[in-house]
Structure 1
Amino acid sequence: MNNTIKEKIRIYLIDPDHFRPGNRISIPMGIGSIASYCKSLHTDEVEFSLFKNPEELMTAIKQRPPHILGCSFYMWNKNLTLKIIEASKIISPSIITAIGGPNVARNTEYFKEILKTNPSLDIIVLDQGEKSFANIVERFLSEGANSLFSKEIDGCALRLNRQGQVVRGQIVKGGIDINKFPSPYLAGYFDHFLAADFTPTFETVRGCPHQCTFCGGGIGSFLPLSVKNEETIREELLYILKRCKSKELDLTDTNFGIMGDRDLRTSFFMLKLYEKHGFPQLVGYATTKQKTKTSIELMVNLAKMTGYLYFALQTFNEDVLNNCKRKNIPLETIEELIKISKGSNWPILVDIIFGLPGETLQSFMKTVDESVRLGVSMQIYQLRLLRGTTIAEEEREKYKYKTKFRIVNNRFGEYNLIEGAEPSRLVETEEVACGNNTFDFADYLTIRSLGLLITLLVNYGTLLDTISYLLSRNIKITEIIKQIQKNYHQYPSLVELFDKYNSYSKGELFETEEELERKVAHNDKQWGDLLSGSSRYFKLDLGFVGYCVFENTAVLEDIIDIVKKVAKDHLSPGEQEDLNEVIKRDKTRWVTQKKADGKIKTVDLTEKVEVVEEFDYEGWKAENFRGSLATRALKKSCHQVCHIENFDLLIKKIQECDHLSGFLFYERVIGWGPKNLRRICKVV
C-alpha cells in the first residue's frame, strides 16, 4: 500500500431514488454487496457509507467528503445520478466519481458518450460490479489517487490522465460467488434502511441462464449462476423480520425455482414465516419456466402468500418467441396451474408485451384471446427498449423500430444539490416502441385502449363473469373490444372517456428525451402540475380504471349496452336472458354501490351488500355456464353478503390520497390499495 495513505479510504455508495409520495423505496442490494465484497478484501483500509437519499448524501459530502463516490446507474435514476456526480465535484473536486449499472450498456461503446458528455464523471464500471469496483479500490490503495488514471482498470472505462483518451480495461469475465463475502444484511450494511421502513430486496440466486433479447438480466459473461447458501437465506429472512417494520419483500431472483428442491425448501420456509408473522408480503418475483412438480409446488407456496398465481407470458406467438430467444412456461403447466387456481379461488396474473419483434396487431389479439380462454388476467405492457439489451443495441435497425420517450412513472423531482445554484429539475425517461416493420403507431394506440378495457373489465373484474359467459358461447373478448372501439362514439360518456384516454396516450410521448425535458422540466406550468400531482403523466390504465370504478359507472353501463348488442347477433333469446342474469351479478360485485357527485369519498362505499340468490349460480359458473341458469333454481332462496375485501385498507388509501385530484388520485388508490376491487359474495 502507498505509505502516503494514512487514513482509511472513505467510500460513499448511493443507489439514488426520487423520494416522491407513492414510490416504493427499495433497499440497495447492489451497492451493499459491493461494500461487503470490498471490505472483505481490505478490512482495515476502507470504510463504506451507503445512501439512498440524494440530500442526505450531499450533506455527508459537505461535512466529510469521500475519496471515492460510486453511484448506481439505472433507467429510473440516470439523470439524478449524473446530477449528483456533477454536484459532488463542485463541493469537492478531488472526489473520484464512478457509476455502474444496467444503463451503462456494457456491451456497447455507449460508455464513451457518457464520459464525453459528463466531464465530472471519472470512471464507469462496466463488468461484474463487485469485482470491477474492487479493482478501482485496489488501484487507489496500491498507487494512490494521482496514479489512478495512468492506465486502464480491468472491468472499467476511464479517461487516461483524466483528460485524455477514453479507454476500457480488460473485460472481467464470469460472475461472483455471493457466498465468498459476508451477507450485506447480516453484516449490518442495511440496518438504517430497515429502520427507515424501506422495502427489502432479496436474492437467493444471482444471474440468469436465459438470453431474452428484450431483457438485460441474462448477460452471458456473468454466468455461471451464483447460488446463495440456504442457511444464509434463512438467517437473512429472520434478520429482516426482526428489524424491518415493513412486511414487504421484493424477491429479485430472475427464475425463482430454477434450483429445484433447494428453492422449494426456501419457499416453504418463507411460507411458514408468513403464516406466523405476516412476512414476507411479496411485492415482486419471477418464477422459473421449467415444468416440474417441484416448480408448480413452489408457485403454489408463493400464491399462499400473495393470494394469486403469477408468471410472465409475453406472447403465445412462437415466431415472436423465437425472435426474442424466449421460452414460455409450457401450456400444459399453465393448464395445471389453472386447475389449482380454480380449486383455491386464486386469480392467475400474467404479463404480456406488445411490440416484440415479429408481433402484429392480429397476432397479439390471439394472445389476448388465448389468455382469456385460459382464464388468466393480463397486464399489458408496451415494449421498452432498454440500454444494453439486444433489441435496443443490435436489432433496432433489423426490425425498423420507431420509438418515443415518456416519463418513468413518478421518477422526477426538484433538487437543491449545488449551493447557490438554481434548483435542478430532473425527470427520468424511458424509450417505448411505437412501431416497427410489423406494427404502426395506430396499432400501438389500439393496443393501449385495449389494455385499458382488459384492465377494467377483466383484471379489476367489473364484467369478469360476463366475459367468461360470452366466451363459453364462443364470443371472444377481442370481438367485444373491437365493437367497443368501433361504436363508442354513440355514447357520450364513452366519447369523453376514450377521447381523453387517447389524448393522454399520445400526450405522454415525446420524440426525444431533449424534447421531453424541454416541454416538461423547463416549462413552469407543466413542471408545477407535475409536482402538484395534477399533470397528465401517470399510469394511465390505473387512473382511468379507478375513475370508472369509483366515480363514473355510467361508462360501465354504456359498455354493457354495447356488449348486449354484440351478443344479440350470437345468442338465442334464452341465452340473452342468461346473459342479463350474469351481468346482474357482475354489477352486484362492483365496489361502488352508492355514489355522491364527483370525486369518491369514503361515505360513498358500503362494506357489505346483501342480496337474495334464487339459483345455483356458482355451480353453473363452475361448469362453464353449461345449459341454462333457469334449470339451476334453488329449492329455497338464500341470502348472500357481498363484501369488499380489505375494506379498511381501501378506506385508508382513499383518505391518504385525498389531497390528489383527477386520474392520479385514482391511480394511487387502486395501485396501492387492495388488489381485489370486486366484491366477494358468500352465503349467510
Structure 2
Amino acid sequence: MNNQSKKENTVIYFADLVHNYVGKGPFMFPINIGYIKAYLNKIYGDKLTVKLFKYPDKLLEEIEKNPPDILGLSNYAWNENLNINLLKYVKSKHPEIMTVMGGPNIHIRPDLIKDYLQKQNNLDFYVIHKGEPGFVNLLEKYFECNKDINLMKKSVIKDTAYYDKEKDEVIRGEETPVIKDLSVIPSPYLTGVMDEFFEDNLIPNLETNRGCPYPCTFCVWGDLDYQKMAMFPFDRIKEEFYYIAKKVEETKNTNILCISDSNFGIFSERDYEFSKIMRELSDKHSYPRKVTTFWAKNKSDGIKKIATMLGELASVDASLQSMNLETLKEIRRDNISQDAYKELLTFFHDNGIDSDAEMVLGMPFETKESHLNALRELMDMDAGQIIVYHCRLLNGAEMSLPEYRERNGIKTKFRLIDTCFGTYGGYKSFEYEEMVKSTKHMSEEELFFFRKLQWLVQFTWNYKYYRGLLKYIQSYDINPMDFLIAVMENIENAPKEVQKLLKEFDNDSRGEWFDTKEELIEHYSKEEEFEKLKNGGFGKLNFQYTFKTITDCPNEFDIYLGKIAKELISKKSPSLDYETAVDNIIKFESMLRVNFSGLDIEKEFKIEIEKHNEFDFDVLKWKRDSYHKNLHEYAGKINYKFYLPNDQVEALNSNINQFKNVNLNFTLRKMSEYMRISDLFYQVESSEEKYETKMEDHVFHTSTFAQ
C-alpha cells in the first residue's frame, strides 16, 4: 500500500487546464470537471476531498504542497501537450499518484487507441467519453483494489482504457449507457462547486442539455451514444442563470455568458424561456451583455423567437459549412435549405438581429470555384457575418481517420494554436492544430488564395469597418467578394504602409505552417522564437491584422480602399457623383471607429467621448434603412454627433481589463473574440451643432495591463 492510501480520505485533483502563460483569457469556467465533482460529492460525500484547477501553475503549486491520491485531467486539442508534460513532471516527483485523463481528444478504434495510449508513459488510465459515471466506475475499482494501481491494471474497468506493456495491448472495459436523466448530476453552481471561479476573470458557462443529433464527419460531438439528447431540469437551469448573474454582479469580472449546448434552440419553447430569462437579467442587472452559444441547425421558426428575445445580446450562427451538395453528402451534413436561410436572413435584417454564416475551407469535393461562388452568394444574400474556418482534423473525428484522408486526398500541415504555449514545471509545452492544406479537389496554392480573402472579409464585412462601402459597391452590381479580390491583386498601387502590411500578412500566413508537429515544436522551442511568442508576436491572423490595420495605418487603408472602389465603379459608367459618395462613406466609417492607437500601458489613455462632423449625404439613415435604397437618394448636408454612452465605456473597460496583456494588439484581438462587436464603434445621431471635437476626461486604467 502506498503512502497516499494512508490518508483518512481520498484526495482527487481535477484540472481543466489552459495555457495562461501570456494573458488570462478568454477562458471558460471548468464546468466539465465541476459536473464530475458535484456527482462524486453526491455519491461519496466525505470519503473524498476533490479540488478543481484551471491554471497549471496553481495545480503544480498545490501538488508540491499536498500531493493528491489521484490526478484527473480533461484532454482537449488545446491542452493535450500541456497535460502530457504535466503528467511527466508529476510522475517524476510523485510516482505514487494515480494519473487519469478523459475527454474527446482520442480515437477509440482499437488500432488508433493503442497507438495513442502506448505513447503515454505517465498515464495510468483513460476514461472514455462518459465523465461522471466513467470516473465512478474507476473509483469503485480503485477502492476495491485497496488503492493499488498495479492491482487495478490486472482488471477490466468499465468506461476505462489503459495500455498493458507486458501484453502489448489496450485493456478496455465495456461502455455503460449514457446518463439520460441528467437530474442525477447535481448543479455545480447551486452546490457551490463553482463559487471559487467567480473570483477570477473567467467566463461562466453551463449546459442546458447534452448530445448532438448530427453525425458530421469533421466533428466529435455527434458520437453515436450522444445522438439522443438529454436535458437538465428546466427549473434548475433557471436557478443557475439567476445564481450566476448574482455572483457576477458581486465580482464584476466579466460581462459574458456561454451556453455550452451543441444546438441551442433545438428545443424551441424551452430554449425560448431561457432566452427570456437572459433578457430579463441583462435588462435589470446589465449581465449578460454578450451571450455565446452554438445554435440549432434546422429550427428556423424557433430561432426567430429566441433571437428576437436576445436581441443585441447574441449573434445567431448558421453553420452551413459548405454549399456544395457533394461536399455536404461526404461530410454527412444536412443543411437548412437556401430558401429557408434567405427567409431567415430577411427576418434578421428587418429586426436588427446580428447573424453569422459559418463556412469551412478545405472540405472534401470543395473546389476554389465552388467555395468562392458560395462566398459570393452569401454576400448577395446579405449574410450578417461570413465566418470561414480552415478545416481542422480532430482526434476522434471520422475525417481524421487514415482511410478517410486517403479517399479524399487530404494532405495536412501543423500550426501553433494561438496563446496555447508556455513553460510549466520546467517543460515547454506547445499545442498545435492539424489543418487541411490540400485535397483531391483543391491545391495548397488555391487554399492559400483564400487566406488573405478570409481576413479581408472578417475585417471589412464581419466587423463592419467598411460594411457601408461594400454595400455601396454592391449597388453597382459589383459583388463585394470581387472588390476584395481586387484589393488583393492591386497591392502595388497601395500606399507604402498598406503594401508593407499586406506583404507581412502573406509572409506570416505562409510562415505559420509546419510539415510535422515535431518541426513546429523544435522551431518554437528556440529561445528567440519563444521570446516572440511571449511578447504576443503570434496570433490568429484575422484578428491580429484587423487591429494592426486599425492602430498602425487606418488612414492609408481608407485611401486604398476608396481608390479601388472608385476604379471599379468607374467601369460601370456611373451617372452620379460616386467619388463624393465613396469619400463620405469612408469618412463616416472612419469616424465610427473607436481609436485605440493612443493606448499606452505606461500612461493613462483619454478617449474621445464625443465628436462631430459634416457630411454630404445622410449616411446614417441610409445605414438604418439597411442600405436598401441608393445612397444618392439621401443627398443633402447633415451634421452627426458620434458619442460613447457610459455603459459602452464601462463595457470597453471591462473587456480591456479581462484580456489585459502588455501587447496592445494581443489585448484587442483577444477581447474582440468574445465582446459585443458594436462596442468597438461610436453611437451616432444627427446634430445641428457646428463641428467640434470634444476630449473628455474619461480614462482607461491601463496600469492593470502589466503582468
What TM-score, normalized by structure 2, do the two folds share?
Answer: 0.87
The 1:108/1:607 distance shift into structure 2, 3 A limit, reads farther
Q: In the alignment, which residue of structure 2 is the partner of 1:363?
A: 370
**SS state of the match for residue 339, structure 1?**
helix
Matches within 5 A, 1:17-416: 17-19=18-20, 20-107=22-109, 109-146=111-148, 147-160=151-164, 165-244=169-248, 245=251, 246-306=254-314, 308-375=315-382, 376-393=384-401, 394-415=403-424
Which string of whole-angstrom CA distances, capped at 9 and with x for unpartnered residues, describes residues 91-119 of structure 1?
22121111011112234633322332221
Q: In the alignment, which residue of structure 2 is the partner of 1:475?
A: 478
More displaced, 116-125 or 235-244?
235-244
Q: Distance in 2 between matches of 1:443 and 1:46?
A: 56
Instruction: Please tell me the residue identity of whatever aligns with 1:298.
Output: I
The 1:210/1:558 distance shift into structure 2, 3 A limit, reads same
- In 1, are the aligned partners of 2:616 and 2:635 still within 8 Å (CA)? yes
Q: Distance in 2 between matches of 1:196 and 1:658?
A: 13
Instruction: Please tell me the residue identity of whatever aligns with 2:539.
Output: F
Q: Distance in 2 between matches of 1:667 and 1:44?
A: 45
Instruction: Please tell me the residue identity of whatever aligns with 1:255.
Output: N
Q: CA deviation at 1:298?
A: 1.0
Are 1:456 and 2:459 counterparts? yes
Q: Distance in 2 between matches of 1:673 and 1:232?
A: 27
Q: Distance in 1 between matches of 2:132 and 2:512?
A: 37
Q: CA deviation at 1:502?
A: 0.8
Q: CA deviation at 1:331?
A: 3.3
**SS state of the match for residue 250, structure 1?**
strand
Q: CA deviation at 1:578?
A: 6.7
Q: Distance in 1 between matches of 2:667 and 2:46?
A: 51
Q: In the alignment, which residue of structure 1 is the partner of 2:613?
A: 611
The 1:622/1:311 distance shift into structure 2, 3 A limit, reads same
Q: Distance in 1 between matches of 2:458 and 2:215?
A: 30
The 1:165/1:606 distance shift into structure 2, 3 A limit, reads same
More displaced, 17-26 or 4-13?
4-13
Unmatched 5+ stretches in structure 1: 418-422
More displaced, 359-368 or 657-666?
657-666
- In 2, are the aligned partners of 1:644 and 1:680 still within 8 Å (CA)? yes
**SS state of the match for residue 193, structure 1?**
helix
Equivalent of residue 509 in structure 2, options 505, 510, 525:
505
The 1:431/1:175 distance shift into structure 2, 3 A limit, reads farther
More displaced, 604-613 or 489-498?
604-613
Matches within 5 A, 1:415-454: 415=424, 417=425, 423-454=426-457
- In 2, are the aligned partners of 1:466 and 1:586 still within 8 Å (CA)? no
Q: Distance in 2 between matches of 1:621 and 1:159?
A: 62
Are 1:12 and 2:13 counterparts? yes
What TM-score, normalized by structure 1, do the two folds share?
Answer: 0.90
More displaced, 625-634 or 108-117?
625-634
The 1:616/1:562 distance shift into structure 2, 3 A limit, reads closer
Q: Distance in 1 between matches of 2:428 and 2:599?
A: 37
Q: Distance in 1 between matches of 2:61 and 2:602?
A: 42
Which string of whole-angstrom CA distances, capped at 9 and with x for unpartnered residues, describes residues 74-131 of structure 1?
1111011112222222222121111011112234633322332221111111232222
Instruction: Please tell me the residue identity of whatever aligns with 1:538.
Output: G
- In 1, are the aligned partners of 2:114 and 2:163 still within 8 Å (CA)? no
**SS state of the match for residue 241, structure 1?**
helix
Q: Distance in 1 between matches of 2:344 and 2:449?
A: 30
Considering Cα pairs closer than 8 Å and 6+ residues apart, tell me whether 1 or 2 has the greater RCO. 2
Q: CA deviation at 1:329?
A: 3.4
Which string of whole-angstrom CA distances, capped at 9 and with x for unpartnered residues, describes residues 497-530 of structure 1?
2211010001111111111110102x01111221
Unmatched 5+ stretches in structure 2: 688-707
**SS state of the match for residue 77, structure 2?**
coil
Which string of whole-angstrom CA distances, capped at 9 and with x for unpartnered residues, describes residues 350-407 of structure 1?
3222111111111111221122222222222211111111111252211111111111
Matches within 5 A, 1:465-544: 465-491=468-494, 492-521=496-525, 523-533=526-536, 535=537, 537-544=538-545
Q: Distance in 1 between matches of 2:205 and 2:133?
A: 21
- In 2, are the aligned partners of 1:51 and 1:57 still within 8 Å (CA)? yes
- In 2, are the aligned partners of 1:406 and 1:516 still within 8 Å (CA)? yes
Q: In the alignment, which residue of structure 2 is the partner of 1:420?
A: none
> What is the identity percentage for the equivalent residue pairs of Structure 1 and Structure 2?
25
The 1:593/1:525 distance shift into structure 2, 3 A limit, reads closer
Instruction: Please tell me the residue identity of whatever aligns with 2:484.
Output: I
- In 1, are the aligned partners of 2:483 and 2:565 still within 8 Å (CA)? yes
What's the Cα RMSD here?
Answer: 3.0
More displaced, 602-611 or 347-356?
602-611
Instruction: Please tell me the residue identity of whatever aligns with 1:138.
Output: E
Which string of whole-angstrom CA distances, capped at 9 and with x for unpartnered residues, describes residues 248-297 of structure 1?
21110010111121111111122111111122244520111233533310
The 1:579/1:356 distance shift into structure 2, 3 A limit, reads farther
Instruction: Please tell me the residue identity of whatever aligns with 2:78.
Output: W
Q: CA deviation at 1:546?
A: 1.2
- In 2, are the aligned partners of 1:616 and 1:633 still within 8 Å (CA)? yes
- In 1, are the aligned partners of 2:26 and 2:674 still within 8 Å (CA)? no
- In 1, are the aligned partners of 2:26 and 2:670 still within 8 Å (CA)? no
Q: CA deviation at 1:171?
A: 2.9
Q: Distance in 1 between matches of 2:470 and 2:166?
A: 63
Q: Distance in 2 between matches of 1:455 and 1:405?
A: 23
The 1:495/1:222 distance shift into structure 2, 3 A limit, reads same
